[in-house]
Amino acid sequence: MTRLLPAHLLAIAAVAGLAGANLLRLEPHSLAPLLLAAGAPALALSPPRARLATLAGLVAIAGWGWGSVRLDALDRSPLHALLGRGGRALLEVTGEARPGTFVQRQPARVLAFDGRGVGGERAQLELPLGRSPPQGADVDALVVVREPHGPANGFDERTWLRRQGIHVVLKVDAWTAAGRRGGLGGVADGLRRALARGSGPGLAGERRAVLEGILLGDAARLSPGLKASFQRSGLFHLLAVSGQNVVLLAAGVLGLAWLLGLPRAAGHVGALAAIGGYVLAVGPQPSVVRAAVSGAAVSVAWLAGRERDAWHVLLLAAAGLLAWNPYTVFDAGFQLSFAAVLAIFVLAPPLRERLAGYPGPGGLHTAVAISLACSVVTAPLLALQFGRVPVLGVVANALVEPAIGPLLALAFAAAVVAPLAPPLAAALAWLNGWLAAYVALCARVVAAAPFAQLTGRAAAAAAGLALIGAAYAWRRWQTT
């Protein structure tokens, strides 16, 4: 077991303070500074044994105050005063379009409305099915400002968007491209296009959609049926960038540096740059940021000559995400990503030990242990957030595990060699297409099995049993 260190306690205090701002907001200009000012003398006068607890309390108050400031900023909306109005808007498209049944939705920043600047407020575009502006485009559009839908059919669009700092939906009647954004956003768009284009030259249809889903964390190109199969089989997590993506990317950069005869320090610097570029390309989703912070910590620790503390890194990633947007604590991706990592840290090792005596390679034991631990811990969250729990996720993950590592490695390799040797990149992509097809086949076969997924009350019961099982396994491990 990992011993609780002072750094862990302070990071926990920061996370608790930032998340606590969602329950009660401090007045940032009066109450928070007063509490901190009162706590400073208490810290100086505290006995040594109580000093750490006092410092943790001050960190929690500082996090509470900062979280309140960020929530106030996220809740401000100049466009909300324009509900029901139509006009011309200058938009900066910040993501790919996601087709629905009747319309497609796309994130954007509103640079101006009817000739007046609005500070780049975030908004959700609602466009007819068909043609949509590319990510990174500056768009001149004729829009109508409306409020997001309230609770309906188990989903509250208004609350979900508000927690992302989005308070209005712009119904787009007509649009024309007016250029492309520059700066860091433009760099991110270029990296994403290069990675998407270079990783799968010659691929199309379902194979390209699966490849881009696993590599870029974007399930928008998957057909509704295949997307449902990934959800029902317990493989939907593959479509969110995880630590495995970052580990393979960093390992590839380190291996390339070794082949070129470069110093190891240069390899770690290159790995940090590659991880940063990857985050820009795929976007700052909670799972992406957590994986990037964990991966970057390996190189930073080596360059600094210090041992990496996985628990501290995990807590710092959570604190960083909540410092940017305290509402993230309600995000399903945040909850599932961090719950899965906790399961890997806490439950997977004893499960791996229990499985060691059974026939089969060690890699399979590890994959089953990780999948089982993650399935048990995330089951209550899946039941709460989506009302469903995949039952055969362990089987599905064991089937696809041998293919995911090679698929990512081939995708990164193809993207690297595409500018230098297009025929080689095409050959790598062709081979990768078969791996993508295999992953899709596994998702469909497992999803078609009876009782592959439980919904409603059955899902809630399964989640409760999973919690009881996890508590029992933890207790048994602690007493052995």
- What is the token pair recorded at 10? 């302070």
* pLDDT at position 281: 86
* pLDDT at position 43: 56
* pLDDT at position 441: 95
Residue 29 has pLDDT above 60, yes or no: no
* pLDDT at position 145: 93
What average pLDDT does range 294-308 have in this prediction? 72
Strands 169-180 and 116-128: parallel
Q: Residue 167's pLDDT band (boundaries 50, 70, 90)?
A: very high
* pLDDT at position 221: 83
Give the CATH architecture of domain 78-181.
Beta Barrel (2.40)
Orientation of helix 393-417 relative to helix 205-216, angle to 10°: 90
Residue 322 has pLDDT above 90, yes or no: yes
| Helical H segments across 76-182, by residue range | 157-162
Average pLDDT, the chain: 83
**What angle is formed at CA 147 by the lines to CA 141 and CA 151, rounded to 5 degrees?**
135
- The tens digit of pLDDT for each residue in 276-293 reads 888 888 887 777 788 788
Q: Percent of the chain at pLDDT above 70?
A: 86
- Residue 230 burial (10 A CB sphere; 0-12, 13-18, 19+): buried
Residue 302 has pLDDT above 60, yes or no: yes
Query: What does the DSSP assignment read for 398-417?
Result: HHHHHHHHHHHHHHHHHHHH
What is the length of the chain?
Answer: 480
Residue 269 has pLDDT above 80, yes or no: yes
CA distance 353 to 360: 13
Q: Residue 33's pLDDT band (boundaries 50, 70, 90)?
A: low
Region of poorest pLDDT, from 4-8, 164-168, 186-190, 358-362: 358-362
Sign of CA dihedral 178, 184, 186, 192: negative
What average pLDDT does range 366-383 have in this prediction? 80
- With H, G, I as helix, E, B as strand and everything else as coil, classify residue 12: helix
Count other C-beta atoms under 10 Å from residue 204's C-beta. 9
* pLDDT at position 377: 82
CA neighbor of 67 nearest in space, from 328, 315, 317: 328
- The tens digit of pLDDT for each residue in 422-457 reads 999 999 999 999 999 999 999 999 999 888 777 766
Give the residue extent of every domain in the chain.
6-75, 78-181, 191-479
Report which DSSP code applies to 180. E
What average pLDDT does range 339-365 have in this prediction? 77
Amino acid symbol at 433:
G
Residue 30 has pLDDT above 60, yes or no: no
Count other C-beta atoms under 10 Å from residue 473's C-beta. 18
- Do the Cβ atoms of 36 and 44 come closer than 8 Å? no
- Do the Cβ atoms of 214 and 408 come closer than 8 Å? yes
- What is the token pair recorded at 96? 């790919």
* pLDDT at position 476: 59
CA neighbor of 111 nearest in space, from 2, 32, 185: 185
Residue 239 has pLDDT above 60, yes or no: yes
